[in-house]
Amino acid sequence: MALMTGEQYVESLRKLNTKVYMFGQKIDNWVDHPIIRPSINCVKMTYDLAQDPEHEDLMTATSSLTGNKINRFAHLHQSTDDLRKKVKMQRLLGQKTASCFQRCVGMDAFNSMFSTTYETDKAHGTNYHERFKKYLTYVQDNDLTVDGAMTDPKGDRGKSQGAQTDPDMFVRIVEKRADGIVVRGAKAHQTGSINSHEHLIMPTQAVSEEDKQYAVAFAVPSDAEGLFMIYGRQSCDTRKLEKDADVDLGNKEFGGQEALVVFDDVFVPNDRVFMCEEYDFAGMLVERFAGYHRQSYGGCKVGVGDVLIGAAALAADYNGANKASHIKDKLIEMTHLNETLYCCGIACSAEGYPTDAGNYQIDLLLANVCKQNVTRFPYEIVRLAEDIAGGLMVTMPSQADFRSDLTVPTKSGMTVGQWANKFFVGADGVSTENRMRILRFIENIALGASAVGYRTESMHGAGSPQAQRIMIARQGNIAAKKELAKAIAGIKE
């Protein structure tokens, strides 16, 4: 099958019997739901750009499995050049959507699963690697979007998987059959899960021998029997349900998506099982996926940051403050922070190396440094954008007020809309509506429905800040640095 177009992707979702719940109701036509559709449009962009000759080099690749042209989101990295192109592709998509385009987790899961299954087979004599290669070939040939799912609800964070009061707080094997396994549990905060054709499930943390039923990795279609999703709501999400509220939306076309994915005794056939109680390799899979996904943030967050910097500069123009030296300095600082994130994403890619399986792994230490910076710098970028925009960003009336023809009973006889447009005008020559649009857009990225793809998600996506600090401590090799100091200081022990 050739690469899908964006429209073909949207139509392919309609063919799925995906079970979606939101606001306490089952959503039958979720593809066209006004709250969900912006997130589908983000994924659609990954297909549209792959059809554009201008972006073909970044958006597509040659499959190492089949030799066919495929979307880069389904690619196994074959070089450090592939790793760098991944980051550049993610920056491009962030620039085009100013939100989360949701296919990164699947791509990162493919690459971590490919190398981990290879090493699992070497140690245990299993055949997971060949199974996974066949599965990924299917994904590539059909140009599918796959939700890479790692995060479990976790329950009591002070207890291990098996010690939980409710054993379903981590996805687990509840039955092993001759033809496959039955799994139960849930994956939380799953980016783009509803918009995906498939789900690739991984453990969320290292697993001990006594908890080996939690060491499981597998793939299932989105409409598998026993699988359903509960959509996660976002700040300002119901604005999308309001009539004629496009100014208030800020980013009308695009948005992020998260959901709880529940597995209520879902059967998985053997050919889609890639780990089944090999607990000694669960930690490796988690570590490699986390590394790839932390690299991703050096691209996607930078692209959204590019848009936010542009929006802040426009707000300064529309406010008539663009010539102030402190405004120029704040834009410089935002750019400095944003490009520093990009440097980290490129650096961990350039320092990549081949795995035993043949695909390329990023430098884990630098990837964790990249994500640690992402937990901080976007917050400062947002703070500066809000500073430049001004308080009107969060105190302005609604679009309905700006367009109201209701007459206020005063001597002037002016309408509500005329009063609002009169007093919220900015720089000469700038319409009040355009000023409102850019302020609402900044609000959307900083506080609203796109925050899941920028600010708050920068903190918790791909692991909390402490998760990166643990990896930095592990990878930082303090012992070797001590030896460097001893040698120069003339210390002999």
Q: Answer yes or no: 204 catalytic.
A: no
Q: Is 100 one of the annotated active-site residues of the chain? A: yes
Exposed, middle or buried, 62 (CB in 10 Å: 0-12/13-18/19+)?
exposed
- Show me where the domains of the chain are located: 6-278, 287-481
pLDDT at 450: 57
287 is a catalytic site residue: no
Query: Which residues, listed in sequence order, are joined to residue 201 by a DSSP beta bridge?
Result: 149, 218
Smallest CA-to-CA distance from 385 within 454, 459, 485, 472 is with: 454
Confidence grade of residue 452 (pLDDT, cut at 50, 70, 90) = low
Q: Is 300 a catalytic residue?
A: yes
Give the tens place of pLDDT for each residue, 353-379. Answer: 999 999 999 999 999 999 999 999 999
Tell me which of 42, 236, 276, 300 is the catalytic residue.
Answer: 300
> Which one from 33, 75, 77, 104 is the annotated catalytic residue?
104
Same fold, 6-278 and 287-481: no
d(CA 36, CA 40): 7
pLDDT band of residue 244 (cuts 50, 70, 90) is confident
Q: Are 182 and 172 in contact (CB under 8 A)?
A: no
pLDDT in tens, 98-131: 999 999 999 999 999 999 999 999 999 999 999 9
Candidates 119, 198, 258, 386; catalytic one: 258
Q: How far apart are CA 412 and CA 198, in angstroms?
A: 61
Active site residue 336: no
Q: d(Cα 32, Cα 38) in Å, to the nearest integer? A: 9
Residue 457: which pLDDT band, with cuts at 50, 70 and 90? confident
293 flagged as catalytic: yes
| Residue among 293, 318, 355, 443 flagged as catalytic | 293
Check: CATH 3.40.50.300 for 287-481?
no
State the catalytic residue, choosing from 135, 279, 297, 454: 297
What local confidence, expressed as pLDDT, does residue 91 receive?
A: 98
- Total residue length of the chain: 493
pLDDT in tens, 188-229: 999 999 999 999 999 999 999 999 999 999 999 999 999 999
Q: Residue 457 catalytic?
A: yes
Set 33, 75, 100, 135: catalytic member: 100
The pLDDT confidence band at residue 274, using thresholds 50, 70 and 90, is very high
pLDDT of residue 455: 81
The amino acid that residue 92 corresponds to is L
Residue 231, phi then psi, degrees to nearest 5: -70, 135
426-444: pLDDT as tens digits: 999 999 999 999 999 999 9
Neighbours of 157 (CB within 10 A): 5
Asked about 258 being catalytic, the answer comes back as yes
Please answer whether residues 58 and 85 qualify as being in contact, where contact means their C-beta atoms are separated by less than 8 angstroms: yes
What amino acid is encoded at 413 in this protein? G
Give the pLDDT of residue 379.
95
User: At 266, is the secondary structure helix, strand, or coil?
Assistant: strand
- Three-state SS at 314: helix
Residues 382-390: what's their mean pLDDT? 97
Catalytic residue selected from 191, 204, 355, 432: 191
pLDDT of amino acid 66: 97
Question: Which option is the CATH number for 6-278: 1.25.50.10, 2.40.110.10, 3.40.50.1970, 3.40.50.2300?
Answer: 2.40.110.10
- The pLDDT of residue 314 is 98
Contact 169, 214 (CB under 8 A): no
Compute the mean pLDDT over every residue in the chain, rounded to the nearest whole number.
96
Burial class (CB in 10 A: 0-12, 13-18, 19+), 389: buried
For residue 199, the one-letter residue type is H
Could you tell me the pLDDT band of residue 134, with boundaries at 50, 70 and 90?
very high
Cβ–Cβ under 8 Å, residues 103 and 42: no
The token pair that represents 116 in the structure block = 């981990």
